[in-house]
C-alpha cells in the first residue's frame, strides 16, 4: 500500500454538519465550526477526504434517497467553494433492525472505500462523534480513531471536545 493512499474518514452528522436530527434539507445543513480549517490541513497533508455516514432516515421513511443525494451534492459543492475536495461519500440507508454489513458499527463502508481507493488503513484516520464510528473504524483497522465527544471510548485512540481540539 502506498503512503499516498491514506484517508481521513469523516462521519457526517455531528462532524461535518451540526446534528439537528435527520438532516436532509439545505436550510438545515450547518457546517460544524472549525471544519474547513481541519479539512484543509489534512487535505494539504495528502489525505483523501472520505465520508462514511449512517443515514437511517432513508430506511425509516423520513426522507428519500433522492433527498439524501441532493443534500450530499450540496455539501460537496459547498466544500469545493472552500477548496476542499471530498473524494467519496459512502452511506448506509438501513435501519439498525436491517442488520446490514454497511451500517456502523459494522465496517462495510470502510472496506468498500479501502477497495475503491486502495487505502492504507494503518495510516488513515477516522473522526466521528459516536462509539459506533470508533468500533467500525477499529474493525476496519483504521489506526487513528478520534472521537469528538464528552464521553470516553475504549475503541478511540483519542477523545476531544471539538474539531478545534484535533491537532
Question: What digits encode the pLDDT tens for the residues 46-84?
Answer: 999 999 999 999 999 999 999 999 999 999 999 999 999
Catalytic member of 13, 28, 44, 165:
13
Catalytic member of 11, 33, 67, 165:
11
**Residue 37 pLDDT > 90, yes or no?**
yes
Residue in the structure block whose three cell numbers are 465496517: 107
| Domain enclosing residue 44, as ranges | 7-165
Count of domains forming the chain? 1
Residue 2 located in a structural domain: no
**What span, in angstroms and rounded, lies between the C-alpha atoms of 138 and 155?**
7
Residue 1 located in a structural domain: no
Residue 59 located in a structural domain: yes
Residue 58 located in a structural domain: yes
pTM: 0.96
28 annotated active-site: no
13 annotated active-site: yes
Residue 27 located in a structural domain: yes
What CATH number corresponds to the domain at position 90? 3.40.50.1000
DSSP 13: B
Amino acid at each position: 500500500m502506498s503512503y499516498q493512499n491514506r484517508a481521513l474518514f469523516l462521519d457526517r452528522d455531528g462532524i461535518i454538519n451540526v446534528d439537528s436530527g435527520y438532516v436532509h434539507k439545505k436550510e438545515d445543513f450547518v457546517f460544524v465550526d472549525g471544519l474547513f480549517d481541519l479539512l484543509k490541513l489534512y487535505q494539504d497533508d495528502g489525505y483523501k477526504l472520505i465520508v462514511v455516514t449512517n443515514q437511517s432516515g432513508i430506511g425509516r421513511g423520513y426522507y428519500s434517497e433522492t433527498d439524501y443525494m441532493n443534500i450530499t451534492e450540496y455539501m460537496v459543492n459547498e466544500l469545493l467553494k472552500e477548496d476542499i475536495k471530498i473524494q467519496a461519500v459512502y452511506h448506509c440507508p438501513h435501519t439498525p433492525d436491517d442488520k446490514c454489513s454497511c451500517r456502523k458499527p459494522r465496517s462495510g463502508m470502510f472496506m468498500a472505500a479501502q477497495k475503491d481507493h486502495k487505502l492504507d488503513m494503518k495510516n488513515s484516520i477516522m473522526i466521528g462523534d459516536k462509539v459506533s464510528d470508533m468500533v467500525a473504524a477499529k474493525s476496519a483497522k483504521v489506526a487513528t480513531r478520534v472521537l469528538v465527544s464528552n464521553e470516553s471510548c475504549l475503541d478511540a485512540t483519542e477523545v476531544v471536545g471539538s474539531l478545534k481540539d484535533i491537532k
